[in-house]
Amino acid sequence: MGNTLRVISVVGARPNFMKIAPLARAINAHNAGGGTPRIEHRLVHTGQHYDVEMSAAFFDALDIPAPDVDLGIGSGTHAQQVGQTMIAFEQVLRDWPPDWVLVVGDVNATCACTITAKKEHLKVAHIEAGLRSFDQDMPEEINRLVTDRLADVLFTTDHIADANLRAEGTADERIRFVGNIMIDTLDAQRELAAPLKVADIIRDNAIADGEEDAARFAGTADGDFAVLTLHRPSNVDDPHILPDLVAYFIDEVAARMPLVWTLHPRTRNRLEASGLLDRVLATPNIVLLRPIGYREMLRLNMSARIILTDSGGIQEECCVLGTPCVTLRWNTERPITLTDHGGTNVLAGNDVARIRDAVNLLMEKKRVPHRPELWDGHTAERIVRYLAGTRAG
Shortest spacing between CB 181 and ligand UD1, in angstroms = 16
Shortest spacing between CB 16 and ligand UD1, in angstroms = 9
Contact 300, 204 (CB under 8 A): no
Shortest spacing between CB 14 and ligand UD1, in angstroms = 4
Asked if 190 interacts with ligand UD1 (CB under 6 A), we say: no
Scan residues 314-343 and list those touching ligand UD1 (CB under 6 A): none
Annotated catalytic residue 231: yes
CA distance 50 to 14: 9
Q: Using the 8-state DSSP alphabet, how is residue 315 labeled?
A: H
Q: Which is nearer to ligand UD1, 50 or 330 (CB)?
A: 50
Asked if 19 interacts with ligand UD1 (CB under 6 A), we say: no
Q: Which is nearer to ligand UD1, 51 or 251 (CB)?
A: 51
Scan residues 245-264 and list those touching ligand UD1 (CB under 6 A): 264
Q: What share of the chain is helix, strand, coil (3-state, %, to 5)?
A: 50, 15, 35
E-assigned strands of the chain?
4-11, 38-45, 69-70, 100-104, 123-129, 153-156, 175-177, 226-230, 259-263, 286-289, 306-309, 325-327, 345-347
Asked if 136 interacts with ligand UD1 (CB under 6 A), we say: no
| Catalytic residue (choose from 30, 45, 231, 370) | 231
Q: Which is nearer to ligand UD1, 48 or 164 (CB)?
A: 48
Segment contacting ligand UD1 (CB under 6 A): 7-15, 186-194, 199-207, 334-342?
Answer: 7-15
CA distance 281 to 287: 7
Q: Which of 284, 279, 250 minimizes the C-alpha distance to 352?
A: 250
Q: Which is nearer to ligand UD1, 29 or 52 (CB)?
A: 52
Beta carbons within 8 Å of 64's beta carbon, 6+ residues apart = 17, 20, 21, 24, 43, 58
- What distance, in Å, lies between the first and last C-alpha atoms of the chain? 14
Asked if 139 interacts with ligand UD1 (CB under 6 A), we say: yes
Beta carbons within 8 Å of 208's beta carbon, 6+ residues apart = 281, 287, 288
Contact pick of 266, 341, 365, 385 for ligand UD1 (by CB under 6 A): 266
Asked if 107 interacts with ligand UD1 (CB under 6 A), we say: yes
Asked if 133 interacts with ligand UD1 (CB under 6 A), we say: no
The binding site for ligand UD1 (CB under 6 A) comprises 13-15, 48-51, 54, 75, 106-108, 139-140, 231, 264-266, 269
